[in-house]
């Protein structure tokens, strides 16, 4: 016989709020179970549909992967008293999710958000060589040898290490596309600085097989089944 969970506990486990606040939502008639307004003391199982504040919930055991367009000015952390705005301030989802591979405050673009800790670990493991693609604009015209020097790897004096070889396509006097397989701290900005360039704009447009696509700053979407399956396969899961 299936073991069921009290509704307030289920809502809390989905990361929506505390059990006490879940009780308030239930009392206010803001929780539906299988299409009907739920009462206090209701229990739910894995096959029940729970909608809270017009959002369908998934249990903590369900794996969720989202593509999110992080705007400029948002710090990739939940708590930072020195940050003007953090992800927690601007990103809201019924299940508690976190990022797989951060972007610095001045960088915009694709963040993968998930509740799957193993997926995060595998995506962030540098030895797995997962591609990350960016569009970059610098403040002075690119030299004739820029592409060759970047692709060969650049020694970062601040980190005392050389970057792995990468792929670069120059697409304009001040702009280029770069594909890297590392995730060193502020890597692209540091690489450019070592070669005498300052980054004016930096946007991540792809992580592994997941593309930013037509997402607008501050919006997100759930990955399709095909995208999710391909992403998990790419990390050996």
pLDDT higher than threshold 70 for residue 169: yes
Residues 97-110, mean pLDDT to the nearest whole number: 91
Q: What is the CATH number of domain 131-207?
A: 3.30.70.1560
Full-model pTM: 0.74
- 131-207 shares the fold of 65-126+214-234: yes
124 token code pair: 């962030």
Percent of the chain with pLDDT over 90: 55
Q: What is the pLDDT of residue 15?
A: 61
Q: Look at residues 80, 69, 74 and name the one whose alpha carbon lies nearest to residue 113.
A: 69
N-terminal to C-terminal alpha carbon distance within the chain = 31
153 burial level (CB within 10 Å; 0-12, 13-18, 19+): middle
Domain boundaries, the chain: 5-56, 65-126+214-234, 131-207
Query: Which class does domain 65-126+214-234 fall in?
Result: alpha beta
pLDDT higher than threshold 90 for residue 96: no
Query: Which class does domain 5-56 fall in?
Result: alpha beta
Q: What is the pLDDT of residue 235?
A: 82
Secondary structure E strands in the chain? 5-6, 31-33, 36-37, 43-44, 50-52, 55-56, 65-70, 98-99, 108-114, 132-138, 155-156, 161-162, 167-170, 175-180, 199-207, 210-211, 220-222
- The Cα 30–Cα 54 span in angstroms is 8
**What mean pLDDT, rounded, does the chain reach?**
88
Among the ranges given (40-54, 64-78, 114-128), the one the predictor scored with the smallest mean pLDDT: 114-128
- The Cα 128–Cα 101 span in angstroms is 13
Catalytic positions: 104
């Amino acid at each position: 016989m299936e073991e069921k969970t009290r509704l307030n506990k289920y809502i809390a486990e989905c990361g929506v709020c505390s059990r006490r606040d879940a009780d308030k939502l239930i009392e206010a008639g803001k929780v539906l179970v299988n299409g009907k307004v739920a009462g206090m003391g209701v229990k739910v199982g894995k096959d029940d549909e729970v909608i809270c504040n017009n959002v369908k919930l998934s249990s903590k055991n369900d794996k969720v992967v989202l593509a999110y367009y992080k705007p400029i000015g948002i710090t990739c952390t939940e708590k930072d008293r020195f940050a003007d705005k953090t992800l927690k301030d601007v990103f809201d989802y019924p299940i508690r999710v976190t990022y797989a591979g951060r972007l610095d405050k001045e960088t915009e673009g694709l963040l993968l958000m998930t509740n799957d800790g193993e997926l995060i670990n595998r995506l962030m493991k540098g030895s797995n060589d997962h591609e990350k693609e960016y569009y970059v604009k610098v403040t002075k015209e690119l030299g004739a040898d820029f592409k060759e020097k970047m692709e060969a790897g650049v020694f970062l004096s601040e980190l005392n290490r050389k970057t792995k070889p990468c792929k670069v396509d120059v697409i304009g006097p001040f702009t280029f596309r770069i594909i890297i397989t590392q995730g060193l701290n502020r890597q692209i900005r540091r690489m450019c600085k070592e070669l005498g360039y300052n980054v004016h704009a930096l946007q991540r447009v792809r992580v592994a097989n997941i593309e930013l696509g037509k997402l607008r700053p501050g919006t997100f979407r759930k990955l399709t089944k095909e995208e999710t399956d391909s992403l998990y396969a790419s990390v050996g899961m």
